[in-house]
Amino acid sequence: MSGIVNIGEANAGDQFYRYKMPKLISKVEGRGNGIKTCIPNMVDIAKALARPASYTTKYFGCELGAQTTFNEDSGRAIVNGAHTAQVLSGLLEGFINRFVQCGSCKNPETVMSVKKGMIRMDCKACGARTDVDMRHKLCTFILKNPPAKPEKKDKKDKKDKDKKLKKSKSKKSKDGDNDGDDEELVAKAKEADEFRSGIGMYDENADANDYAPEPVGGDDDEEEVVWATDTSAAAQAARAADQLTDAAAELVSEDKEAKAKAAEEEKAKAKAEKKAAKAAAKAAAAAAAEEEEGEDDDEEPQIVVEARAFAEDHSASEFASHMEALKLPSEQEKLGVAFLALFGADPAAIKKELPRKKKYLKKLCAKSPESQKLLLGCIEHFCCEVEPELIPAIAVILKFCYDEDIVEEEVIIEWHAAGYKANRALGIAKEDGKAIRKAADALVEWLQEAEEDSD
């Protein structure tokens, strides 16, 4: 059973903090290109945060640049690649800061809603409303899959419940103490006969008029005094109409009609302007969502930016040692970060940058043919996902790597024979995997012929 932790890193040491969630558990499954990380208690964590589990899973994919899947039926959350619980917990803290905690009081008890293309969080503690930063990639996913609205209580059921309660109370009052004493029966008889003495005792010989209350006030002939004036709008209009002549009353009536007509026109105009503004806002939000979905994320991960700065100021050997020292889950991710640091600043200019960065590639792949296979996976991902226009130029890139002894010919031939499924774990689509190998057909045939001639 997993432990329980406080929600929010700032509240980690507070043992009396009442907002808690299960500690994240990660389980690495598979090997090689099919390696993936399963999060068994993702549903429990999302329930504690009052957010759908698909949001937290998708957030991990956005931050790690990995493909994610979440099964609603089984509650199984999967992130491609090998990731430790410590790394995922750090990313979950970012999700809590962005999409759970109140921007005013930092309380996690918020309700998320989507309205007019904007994502908002209403705090149940302080009542503040926080607008979510719409620049994050997860916002596009939330707009397409908005959170479920809370169910409203049925008023009819409430009325029926109140009606049954009143009925039961009245029944109890009727069925109360049937075995009451004689004094209660005598009191009821007094009320029925209207015979009541001054001290509350029943007198059989008394007359009803003997104890009747005396009338308050003077003679009945006196006029009734009115102590209050009716100040309602109808009464004021009636008094004003009594004081006006027929002509004046007609003018007042026409003035009222003109004002009412002007008010209706102004109301209709305001309604039309509001409707037009609403339509414009909706169109702008839709355009922004399409633009956000269509364009790639311009912000590179911080680890890539830092690695690029290190490469510019250090030699190839120092850069290779620096990348080896990084604490990343797999060698594939280390080499992927290094490749983006060397060529990601201007992807279209990779053919010009290859001669300048060949020493760095040699040092990165100097270990074994396995490192060369990982490098080919990075090149395939770079050409298919980062700069798809480079797919036709894959033969030129591979030929350079072969001529400079960065990648051996056997590794290139093996990569080509593995087919499009070889690097599906990196998020490469089936069509792109086939297209890039087709573009390398001529080079592979030439390498195979050269190998046969050498034999």
pLDDT band at 170 (very low <50, low <70, confident <90, very high): low
Question: 405 lies in a domain?
Answer: yes
Over residues 338-353, the mean pLDDT reads: 84
CATH assignment at residue 27 = 3.30.30.170
Q: End of a domain among 56, 75, 104?
A: 104
What one-letter code names the amino acid at 246? D
Average pLDDT over residues 438-449: 87
Quick check: is 134 in a domain? Answer: no
Residue listed under structure tokens 């558990």: 25
Give the contacts of 192 (CB within 8 A, at least 6 positions apart).
none
| Greater pLDDT, 21 or 2 | 21
Cα 33 from Cα 170, distance rounded (Å): 75
CA distance 237 to 251: 14
- Residue 367: what pLDDT? 61
Distance of alpha carbon 443 from alpha carbon 416, whole angstroms: 10
Q: Give the position of tokens 């994240």.
A: 24
What 3-state class would DSSP assign to 335?
helix
Q: Would you state the pLDDT for residue 296?
A: 46
- SS3 assignment, position 154: coil
Mapping DSSP to helix (H, G, I), strand (E, B) and coil, where does residue 27 land? strand
Q: 195 and 208 in contact (C-beta within 8 Å)?
A: yes
- The answer to whether residue 160 sits within a structural domain is no
Q: Identify the domain containing residue 21 by its residue range.
A: 4-104
- Summarised one tens digit per residue, pLDDT across range 288-332 is 666 655 444 456 788 888 888 888 888 988 888 888 888 788 888
Structure-model confidence comparison of residues 198 and 336, the more confident one: 336
Pick from 104, 120, 136: which residue ends a domain? 104
CB 377 within 8 A of CB 426: yes
pLDDT at 391: 87
Per-residue tokens: 107: 């309380």
Do the domain assignments include residue 370? yes
Res 292: pLDDT = 58
Question: How would residue 249 be classed by pLDDT, with cut points 50, 70 and 90?
Answer: low
**Domain termination residue (choose one: 104, 128, 147):** 104
DSSP class of residue 127 equals -
Strands 36-39 and 76-80: antiparallel
In this structure, what DSSP letter does residue 386 have? Answer: I
**Non-local CB neighbours of 288 within 8 Å, separated by 6+ positions:** 117, 134
Q: Give the CA distances from residue 288 to residues 143, 160, 277, 357, in Å, rounded to whole numbers and listed in that order.
A: 11, 48, 16, 38
Q: Which residue do the tokens 């040092």 mark?
A: 363
Residue 361 lies in a domain: yes
- 37 forms beta bridges with 28, 79
* CA pair distance 370, 407, nearest whole angstrom: 10
Gap between the Cα atoms of 137 and 118, Å rounded: 14
Confidence of residue 187 (pLDDT cuts 50, 70, 90): low
pLDDT digits (tens, 9 = 90+) for 412-428: 888 888 877 776 667 78
- The answer to whether residue 132 sits within a structural domain is no
pLDDT digits (tens, 9 = 90+) for 64-75: 999 999 999 999
Least confident of 179-183, 193-197, 260-264, 416-420: 193-197
Q: Which amino acid is at 147?
A: P
- Please check whether residue 96 is in contact with residue 8, taking contact to mean a CB–CB distance below 8 angstroms: yes
In a domain, 157, yes or no: no
Alpha carbon distance 398, 413 (integer Å)? 11
Q: Which of 365, 377, 361 is nearest to 415 (CA)?
A: 377
C-alpha closest to that of 394 among 361, 434, 337, 426: 434
Pairing type for strands 68-71 and 76-80 reads antiparallel
Report, as an integer, the average pLDDT of 12-29.
92
CATH number at residue 384: 1.25.40.180
Q: Does residue 375 belong to any structural domain of this protein?
A: yes
- If you average pLDDT over every residue of the chain, what do you get? 79
Counting the structural domains of the chain, the total is: 2
